[in-house]
Amino acid sequence: MIEALRWVGDRDGHVSMIDQTRLPDVLIDLEITNPDDMIAAIRRLSVRGAPAIGVAAAYGACLATRGLTDAVEVRAALDRELPKIRDSRPTAVNLHHMVDRMRRLIDASDLTGCELRDRLLQEACSIQAEDRELCLMIGRAGAALVKDGGRVLTHCNAGALATGGQGTALSVFYAAKDAGRRFEVVADETRPLLQGARLTAWELQKAEIPVTVICDNAAGHLFARGEIDLVVTGADRVASNGDAANKIGTYTVACLAQLHNVPFYIAAPSTTFDFSLATGAEIPIEERSGDEVWRVSGSGPIPDGVKVRNPAFDVTPASMVKGWITEKGIIQPPFAEIRPEATR
């Protein structure tokens, strides 16, 4: 299995992560040894995908205390670094959830410095292990949606590179393949950073699942010809009513799916749901540098003086979603199965 990131060593170890900005041309691992480098990796998308960013944030807390033994110094370092890690990207809620989880561990602890650091590392490793299991459960929950001989469209990358395990949307495809079904995945290239073309196609090829990359603006043509049977995407944040933020262009795909009566599903773990938000209108949408619109594709800069906007995400209304594939199965609002009060 592809592993987006992992902890290496003991409490004074480091994080090894695939630099996703270099894929598929070059497969190299980055050695991340401090929280500033982790924040930079998150911001430049060396690590990306809501669950993977959450894991990275948890490990970032461990990196913030490297080399420290005094409990006061450990807590001071965490007080200083955790807010910066939490604010490194605004839309993916797993980042916030996992930083808050690490914070609760600190606040509830009266351990010595080294004991606290061991607990932090144990918690961060548990977060990744839990996400790995959530991914497997999501795959099993959604596998039956993929029919033998079908053609499934996905947008952006919701695979192992985006999680602590084997993925969310792509986990559904892996489970369907394991069940013996033969099908094809159509991957939107996902402008402007081409996560579908660079990352999803690379993952699926390694898994020996047939995959075809299309330009984002070719999707409508395939829908109109009846060549898409199912859409499964991931999500970076899901509001209480089911509205979901995902990579920019997902809403366009959902509109096409609705127009052509093709079921549209979102695959996401409970950690991606934000029950503090009533609707998707409250989800903060990250806007990134306009340079990304032309730089990665190699098409050259736009004319001088022309304004560029580069929203990284859009929100798909719950009314367009057939079902939400989670570790608890395919569920519907109000999501009683995964609400925090359901676990008490």
How far apart, in whole angstroms, are the C-alpha atoms of residue 233 and residue 167?
A: 11
Q: Using alpha carbons, select from 195, 201, 203, 55 the residue that is nearest to residue 133.
A: 55
Backbone angles phi, psi at 324, to 5 degrees: -110, 115
Strands 14-18 and 323-326: unpaired
Known catalytic residue at 236: yes
> Contact at 8 Å (CB) between 40 and 32?
no
> Contact at 8 Å (CB) between 216 and 132?
no
Q: Using alpha carbons, select from 282, 281, 280, 300 the residue that is nearest to residue 291.
A: 300
Strand order in the sheet with 323-326: 211-214, 184-188, 151-154, 230-233, 264-267, 323-326, 329-331
Q: Which one of 131, 188, 236, 243 is the catalytic residue? A: 236
Q: Count the neighbouring beta carbons within 10 Å of the beta carbon of residue 196.
A: 26
Active site (catalytic) residues: 236
